[in-house]
Amino acid sequence: MDFRTELIKSIQTTFDQELKNYKADRTYKSVIKNVTAKGYIILDETGCERTVKCAIPGLSLHAGQHVWVKEPLADIRNIHICGVL
């Protein structure tokens, strides 16, 4: 085989493995579906409903409002509202 092709495949494999293990904050737009005593029900990136808290003190939100949602280090358990659109 051609050494250039093998080198490119090796680099691509290494790159793919590193991306798979990469964890970073993800921020995306969402909408509040409902407000409950436990928090705000929003849609996450996959379209599933999640109950989350708002990280902005003293701010009250309502159903239908568009918000920014953050997943710290791609951990869905720590998802929270971090801004309002």
Query: Please, which pLDDT band fits residue 2 given cuts at 50, 70 and 90?
Result: confident
Tens of pLDDT, residue by residue over 45-73, are: 888 999 999 999 999 999 999 999 999 98
Tens of pLDDT, residue by residue over 28-49, are: 999 999 999 999 999 988 889 9
Q: Which helix H or strand E contains 66, and what residues bound it?
A: strand 66-71
Report d(CA 19, CA 13) in Å as an integer: 10
Long-range contacts of 21-25 (CB under 8 A, 24+ apart): 23/73, 23/74, 23/75, 24/73, 24/74, 25/70, 25/71, 25/72, 25/73, 25/74
Residue 74 pLDDT exceeds 80: no
Q: How far is CA 34 from the centre of its chain?
A: 19
Report d(CA 75, CA 72) in Å as an integer: 6
